């Protein structure tokens, strides 16, 4: 199953090395189970997105490790891929960038011909450069966001509502980021998605650095101990008891001040619900926890 990771550190730029490489269940560790690609998306000081990605597992991609140790950003979006749709190419590797926003998805859905027709109808078919269902979903979100005068939350809600009504859906878990905001959705209940609001300032006494100990590693991150962060991940990545699972249908917005807003814009599940038995053996393997 693909893995999602999003981090928002407010106005501060930070490195996400701990979560990408050093945590007990870092993205690099997770990629040993998800072999088809890895990518990291960040934003520079001008708010412009940058994506580094390769169709390789993160643990064997030296560029991933290099970028994970050096990149600084206010928000991060990272993904490790277990392919269900599309070849193992850079074009099919997450995150994707459109209109200055970054996107990654965990799940699967069908009806791609119908979605392609909808994208053509909305005039955004040219945004899709690869073969994945994920990039098509992002194009639909981009189209609906444009139609909502740039309101990303409305764009996500309208796009997912259309997909839930018109397409056979297994899971539409997703994260969208800009340099100042982050949105995350768990829909429906098929795959989990987790939230951690970490604020060292609430700790009595000196703020402790993030720390991971095992028989192989002893990693520390002083950088991330300097201020609060909000994290979204497919699974808890360390032993912090503050991790919580999003409820099915829950959509989060993390604002520039790290305020987290939770809404439930979808009263029902997908009209045409898929389960693993409806998928090809290869696609089903990519969706197993």
Q: Which domains does the chain have, with CATH numbers?
A: 3-286 (3.60.20.10)
- 209 burial via Cβ count (<10 Å: 0-12, 13-18, 19+): middle
What does the pLDDT read at residue 200? 67
**Separation of CA 56 from chain center:** 18
pTM of the model: 0.81
What does the pLDDT read at residue 179? 93
Element (H, E) at 144: helix 133-147
What does the pLDDT read at residue 84? 52
Q: State how far the Cα of 103 lies from the Cα of 241, in Å rounded to an integer.
A: 27
What does the pLDDT read at residue 89? 62
Q: State how far the Cα of 277 lies from the Cα of 17, in Å rounded to an integer.
A: 38
What does the pLDDT read at residue 138? 97
Taking Cα atoms as reference points, which of 87, 82, 188 lies closest to residue 132?
87
Q: What would the DSSP string read from start to end of 155-210?
A: HHHHHHHHHHHHSEEEEEEEEEE-SS-EEEE--SSSS--EEEEE-GGGSSSSPPPE
Report the SS3 class of residue 70. Answer: helix
Helix axes 112-122, 152-166, angle to 10 degrees: 140
Residues of the chain below pLDDT 50: 55-61, 83, 86-87, 203-221, 281, 284-286
What does the pLDDT read at residue 63? 54
What does the pLDDT read at residue 258? 96
What does the pLDDT read at residue 201? 61
């Amino acid at each position: 199953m693909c893995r999602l990771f999003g981090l928002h550190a407010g106005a501060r730029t930070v490195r996400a090395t701990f979560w990408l490489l050093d945590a007990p269940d870092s993205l690099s560790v997770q990629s040993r189970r998800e072999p088809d690609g890895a990518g990291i998306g960040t934003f520079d000081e001008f708010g412009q997105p940058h994506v580094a990605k390769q169709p390789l597992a993160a643990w064997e991609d030296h560029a991933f490790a290099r970028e994970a140790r050096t990149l600084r950003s206010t928000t991060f979006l990272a993904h490790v891929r277990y392919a269900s749709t599309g070849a193992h190419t850079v074009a099919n590797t997450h995150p994707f960038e459109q209109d200055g926003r970054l996107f990654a998805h965990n799940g699967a859905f069908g009806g791609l011909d119908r979605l392609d027709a909808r994208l053509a109808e909305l005039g955004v078919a040219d945004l899709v450069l690869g073969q994945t269902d994920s990039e098509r979903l992002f194009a639909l979100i981009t189209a609906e966001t444009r139609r909502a005068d740039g309101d990303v939350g409305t764009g996500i809600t309208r796009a997912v509502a259309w997909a839930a009504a018109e397409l056979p859906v297994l899971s539409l878990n997703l994260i969208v980021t800009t340099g100042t905001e982050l949105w995350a959705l768990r829909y429906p209940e098929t795959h989990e998605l987790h939230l951690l609001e970490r604020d060292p300032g609430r700790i009595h006494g000196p703020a402790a650095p993030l720390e991971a100990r095992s028989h192989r590693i002893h990693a520390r991150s002083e950088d991330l101990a300097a201020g609060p962060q909000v994290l979204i991940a497919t699974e808890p990545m360390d032993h912090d008891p503050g991790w919580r699972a999003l409820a099915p249908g829950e959509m989060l917005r993390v604002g520039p001040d790290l305020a987290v807003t939770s809404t439930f814009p979808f009263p029902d599940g997908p009209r045409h619900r898929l389960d693993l038995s409806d998928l090809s053996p290869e696609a089903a393997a990519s969706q197993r926890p």
